[in-house]
Chains A and B, each alone.
Chain A
């Protein structure tokens, strides 16, 4: 069962739609016998159980995707997704009000934060001065307009493997040390290395994903993919069973579906 954390933080429809598409394609790719196949009643109001465009019935039952804030359900889930749009301090307050801010860091199954969900898994955010869950050892900053890039950072940008961080005093601006920070156009860069995290299995460096955000998690030892928008930042993070994407896999085309399938296959 896949649980989407329901804490009232914005539109989860695209995440739901993308999960459904990813489950469809996983189901097609796997041995049908290994999958559950029940025709359960679908929860009212949400299109969990729509048929695939191929006309083939879904092999996963609709009730395998659950929208919940119930800690017992979250604890029992095979995978947990923490979505979020909007403003970080408001989202963090909503998570705390649901009693989930202390609970989520105790989860042991694979957990994926998306966009604001990813930011809430960091230590803090400059947006509204939010103190966040502190799963990842980094903080969330606002893009600096002085860097000359448009804010929000909106559109398709490429992912690169993080370079080893040079040692530096804490609090200093991260040094642009990764590939992707140079002057050469991204498209002309060698794209031979694979991104190493299991989340990016099968995806080479330079892969494009879709971003919409004004705040970013800084580089840190938990960074698994770097992107560049005036500054190098953590496009994705991982630590133990926790994963997070600052970008939107649910809107990132075939690449995004690969990432979601990789997560669902962990």
Chain B
């Protein structure tokens, strides 16, 4: 049985992690490689590095960071943020990324998914969708939830999978940051119609929230940032507790 995955997400700006990090024992809490290595050693199943740099220099620094991550870290990692062409994806692949995630650029240009998947395989492409409920329908947003689109979540997710995305990373903008848990019924409905694995993101406040989305929500993986960075839910404890709940995890 494939284990449910626990995935810390690191936001990176100009090569450094930006979210509040409350770890002791790290020489430099801003060092994205060191923090990733710490999570890997603690039992993270994968890592996600999101580039939130806005500048050309920041993007270049991020690519160099990806090379260092690939050299030092022994688990798979996904990189995202600002990937809008096949060349962008190719640079990150060459730097050693195992997967890339596309979000806004794929909404603006869905053919980007086909192009990257055709060249590097579906296992390399994660479609990230940020959505919120508008008039009773889940609608995709861009720019961190600030910009509405006319893409409905389920049809867009299915289209992305048909085009070759190998995984879905779905974040509810209605739940992100609330610490009130995930919209499990929506995740379960997505799992019922999509042939690809689903990563749940945004909303976790406690272990039970993560357990719920992996069972009731049928998600294959849970991604989180602040609960890990704050040290509030250490990964070893999270996995031990999930194991006690008979959720298959890699210990």
Contact = CB atoms under 8 A, between A and B. Distances in A.
A18 interface: yes
Interface string B209-251: 0000000000011000000000000000000000100101111
Given A153-B2, A155-B5, A156-B2, A254 B196 contact: no
Interface stretch (B55-63, B66-74, B100-108, B127-135): B66-74
A231 B93 CA distance: 31
A86 B123 CA distance: 10
B160 to A, nearest CB: 15
B195 interface: yes
Interface string A125-158: 0000000000000000000010001111111111
A157 B3 contact: yes
B51 to A, nearest CB: 19
Interface in B159-186: 166-167
A98 B3 CA distance: 38
A13 interface: yes
Interface stretch (A60-68, A70-78, A180-188): A180-188
A164 interface: no
B1 A186 contact: yes
Given A11-B93, A14-B96, A155 B3 contact: yes
B73 to A, nearest CB: 9
A8 to B, nearest CB: 15
Interface residues on chain B, size class: 35 or more
A79 interface: no
Contact of A17 (B70, B122, B248): B70
A178 interface: no
Contacts of B243: 187
B121 interface: yes
Interface residues of A, number: 40
A53 B74 contact: no
A1 interface: no
A187 B98 contact: no
Interface in B112-162: 121-123
Q: Is the interface of A mostly helix, strand, loop or mixed?
A: mixed
A253 interface: yes
A43 interface: no
Contact of B70 (A13, A187, A256): A13
A155 B74 contact: no
Given A11-B93, A153-B2, A187-B246, A20 B121 contact: no
A47 interface: yes
A50 interface: yes
Nearest to B2: A155
Interface string A6-45: 0000010110011011000000000000000000000000
A212 interface: yes
A68 B61 CA distance: 31
Contact of A14 (B3, B98, B122, B123): B98
A93 interface: no
Contact of B74 (A153, A154, A252): A252
5 contacts: A85-B121, A155-B197, A156-B2, A157-B3, A187-B246
Given A13-B70, A156-B3, A157-B3, 14 more contacts: A14-B98, A18-B74, A53-B37, A149-B2, A152-B166, A157-B1, A158-B1, A186-B3, A187-B243, A208-B3, A210-B76, A251-B75, A252-B75, A253-B40
